[in-house]
Amino acid sequence: MVVPKISSVTPSCNLDISKLSLPKHIKLADPSFHKPAKISMLLGAQVFFKIIKADQIKINDSITLQNSVFNYIVTGGLPTADDKLHCFLLSEQEGLENLISKFWQLESLEDESLNLNSQTKLCEDHFVNNHRRDQTGHYIVQMAFLKEPSCLGESKQTAIRRLNSLWRKLEANPNLQQLYRNFIHEYLAMGHMEQVFEASEPTVAYYMPHHGVLRPDSKSTPLRTVFDASCATTTGESLNSILANGGVIQDELFAMLLRFRKNRIGLISDIKKMFRMIFIDESQRDLLRIVWKESIDDPIKTYKMNRVVYGTTCAPYLAQRVLKQLVMDDGHNYPLAASAVSSDMYMDDLLTGAADIYSAKQLKEQLIALFRGGGMQLHKWSSNCKELLADSEVSDGDVSLTIPVETKALGLLWRPQKDSLAFSVSANVDTCESCKITKRSVLSITARIFDPLGLISPVVTKAKLLMQELWRLKLDWNDSLPIQLESQWKRFVTFLSTINTLNIPRYIFLDYALKIELHGFADASEKA
């Protein structure tokens, strides 16, 4: 057999030698023969018999120890794990099971103790002891590990295979190909990654495969590139499997949306490329490598990321912790902004506001200054106050000078012109007699009703009762609904589209109220 190049590592994965009875009195030429490693030397056939000695020790039917001038060589074969298959998406559509999980969790009260785990203190201590800022104000952080990175095996070959597979998809889709190129070029142009020119590999490195997810509904980011830091190396470990996760350190969505409704003037924005505004310490950048080529036939080049990478386990924690640190470091200079960032930030989204225009202008000015000091930029501003958006002193290229008709606010629709909250529920279900309505189709629509504030609880409750009945009947995913439930479902879907006509006032107070009463309701029903 003739091949263009020898194997980069051998064996391809860790071998289980626990059941091998290797003699203890002999010396092996390679004591670590069972661990994946690079080939040190390639010997030609002309010297083979010069290094081989006569002695052999048979261990079992598969393994024989062959004596040589280098000591005993392990020959034969051991069973290895099956190759793992990898797949990736080219279109963003959330899985049904994940949607159902989120649907049921919305009405569950979050137990704060669940946010605290054995890794929380590790991550906090590691951040406090290892973060720093450069001369521009950017934060430089380190990833915290549960295991030493030296436990990672070889990963470059998998990354190359995935890249070649990706390019076959890109060749068939010129639009996707151009979007992908643009993404890589932007990453390089902004200095968020750099090419690696060294021929030799570092002692410890990790290569992340990557793929693109199309987002046709997003104007600013039509393609999101996902880095797969969960891809296993030849030792079975991946970067994500050894990274510590500090958990969530921001407030929950429900509380944040409630606060957003208490200010007469609403203001929303988000941090532009938040993860990529935070540097990763140079000592860890070899663990964030990727491979890329400009066309399917071009040579492969190696790059390493120098910013926090979306797709790593620690990325959300590091981003949230940097925002907390920014408030601790510079918040005393911007008290209004410090309060808003501490209580009104959900990951990179800001939902805040003020009681009057003057306070809102001050808040916006302080927010821009605070984030600029940390090397970050707020963009995509929206407000129900035109004067606030038209303020030329603090506007940026992403600010519209007119009040938008509709914008998203943490999953809800906000209509700033009317200052109302709304819903956009898609229920494109054929209600004709010939249409087959299954458990899958019912749950697919029901689970997409996003109502974190409980504004349409009666509707959601009716959907939940129907879902409970489907589970009680133990229907399979593709089973048709019984006639009675099918009729209920069709009536429900017909009604569901009317939800999109609702306009619920965002601002919950009256400016000149003499008395405010809070009414609560409870129900002892066993069903809901």
**pLDDT at res. 348:** 92
**pLDDT at res. 95:** 55
**pLDDT at res. 62:** 80
Query: Residue 85 carries which DSSP code?
Result: P
**pLDDT at res. 5:** 60
How far, rounded to the nearest angstrom, does the alpha carbon of residue 322 sit from its chain's CA centroid? Answer: 17
Continuous H helices in 207-279: 239-242, 253-260
pLDDT digits (tens, 9 = 90+) for 207-220: 999 998 887 766 66
State whether residue 172 is helix, strand or coil. coil
Cis peptide leading into 11, omega within 30 of 0? yes
**pLDDT at res. 17:** 76
For 212, other C-beta atoms within 10 Å of its C-beta total 24
**pLDDT at res. 283:** 96
Angle at which helix 483-496 crosses helix 457-472, to 10 degrees, equals 160
Say if residues 289 and 198 touch (Cβ distance below 8 Å): no
**pLDDT at res. 285:** 97
Each residue of 496-527: b (16+ CB within 10 Å) or e?
beebeeeeeebbeeeeeeeeeeeeeeeeeeee
**pLDDT at res. 431:** 47
Domains along the chain with CATH numbers: 9-69 (no CATH), 115-251+275-314 (3.10.10.10), 253-273+326-412 (3.30.70), 439-501 (no CATH)
Say if residues 127 and 117 touch (Cβ distance below 8 Å): no
**pLDDT at res. 432:** 44
Query: Residue 332 carries which DSSP code?
Result: G
What residues does 73 pair with on adjacent strands? 66
Output 294-298 pairs: Cβ under 8 A, ≥24 positions apart.
294/181, 295/167, 296/164, 296/167, 296/168, 296/170, 296/171
Length of the chain: 528
Say if residues 360 and 391 touch (Cβ distance below 8 Å): no
What residues does 37 pair with on adjacent strands? 10
pLDDT < 50 stretches in the chain: 81-83, 85, 87-93, 111-116, 392-397, 431-433
**pLDDT at res. 96:** 55
For 207, other C-beta atoms within 10 Å of its C-beta total 29
User: What would the two tokens of residue 453 be?
Assistant: 């504030």
Backbone φ, ψ for residue 383 (5° rounding): -160, 160
Token look-up 């046709």 returns: 216
Task: Work out whether the CA dihedral 458, 459, 464, 469 comes out positive or negative.
Answer: positive
